[in-house]
Chain A
Amino acid sequence: MKLKNWLEQNWMIVVISMVFVVLAVLDTRQTGRALIIGGTTFLSIAGVLVSVYIFIGLFSVWVKEDQVMRHFGEDSGWKGMFYGAILGTVFHGPAVSIFPLLKSLKDKGARMAIIVVIVSAFAIKIPVIPLELSLFGWKFTLIHNGLLFVTALPLGLVMERLLRSRNEQKER
């Protein structure tokens, strides 16, 4: 089971390594070229990546999750959703890392819309913005993140609606 979970999360690494080995055997010279290209691509953004991870570290100590979490609950309206959006943007790491927190919020009775807003705002990555800026420029970064932020709230409401209508049917 553990191995299965590991494979699920890391299939990309496994598949790419296998493809790499096969290619290296079939065509060593071209695969060597591929490695050099991959390495150069990495070096061209290495500095930005370092700063992304510095920001991730700084965020984790200066923006405390429980400061934000205090504002959640069944009765918190727009304000709660707004904080949810902020909490989502501050998170980093792959999506798996966010589900335990969502579960604890749900168990504590937070409003469903807030939980969904957190997940959708999760697609905005403030610490990663340097990387996006350097590769895609200002306009792309602004529109991309702006749209994500604006759509997080409606998405939360729609999803709350969908989940609730089902529950009411069950109760009848």
Chain B
Amino acid sequence: MSLEWNLIFILFSSATLAVSFFKDRKKTRKALAVSGRSFLNMAPFFVAVFVLIGILEVFVPSSAIAALMGVNRGFIAVLFAAVAGGIMAGPPPASYPMADYLVKHNASLAAAATFIIAWVAVSTVSLPVEIRMMGSRFAWIRWSLTIVLSVIIGVILGWFM
């Protein structure tokens, strides 16, 4: 399953790259430079996340995840996911393998969605920067509304799935 997806997307992105290269070589070279730089910048986070997944897998019993974010925990699971995702810091793509780990250990899909949204959008660690640039009122309103939003979307997604 996973292998197929890898193949599909490698083919798809290579094709897109080829089209881009055909249209504008210079731009495409620049694009690849951006890709490489972004990946290298984020590499430490990826190493950390995959090490974390390994550590959780070996040292934390599956039942602990189920107890916090399990399917039968309902709304509580979503709240835990919002808090867990909200304190995480790292590139958005790293949130998906982490959420996948949670789902594999019986976390609900609602919790997984909330976790991803909270990780990407709530970003508690960048609050100081945000306060400096946008003002504290803006930052705090955005922060709290985003947490609420992540919970709401998680719950709705849970109904649909």
A interface residue numbers (CB < 8 A to B): 5, 8-13, 16-17, 19-20, 23, 30-31, 33-39, 41-42, 44-58, 60-62, 92-96, 99-100, 102-103, 106, 116, 119-120, 122-123, 125, 128, 130-136, 139-140, 143-144, 147-148, 151, 155, 158-159, 162-163, 166
Contacts and interface: CB of A to CB of B under 8 A. Distances in A.
Interface in B110-145: 112-113, 116-117, 120-121, 123, 125-126, 128-130, 133-134, 137-138, 141-142, 145
Contacts of A135: 96-97, 99-100
Given A37-B53, A125-B92, A147 B10 contact: no
Contact of A99 (B101, B109, B133): B133
Given A45-B97, A94-B92, A158-B145, A39 B50 contact: yes
B74 interface: no
Contacts of B39: 53
Contacts of A16: 48-49, 51-52, 55
A7 to B, nearest CB: 10
Interface size range of chain B in the complex: 35 or more
Contact of B120 (A9, A37, A123, A130): A123
29 contacts: A16-B55, A20-B51, A23-B55, A23-B59, A30-B58, A30-B59, A34-B59, A39-B50, A39-B54, A46-B6, A47-B7, A49-B46, A50-B10, A57-B33, A93-B92, A94-B126, A95-B123, A99-B126, A99-B130, A102-B133, A102-B134, A119-B121, A120-B121, A120-B146, A125-B93, A135-B96, A135-B99, A136-B99, A163-B138
A147 B114 CA distance: 12
Contact of A130 (B9, B32, B53): B9
Contacts, number: 241
B27 interface: yes
7 closest Cβ pairs, A-B complex = A38-B54, A47-B6, A57-B35, A134-B5, A51-B13, A34-B54, A95-B123
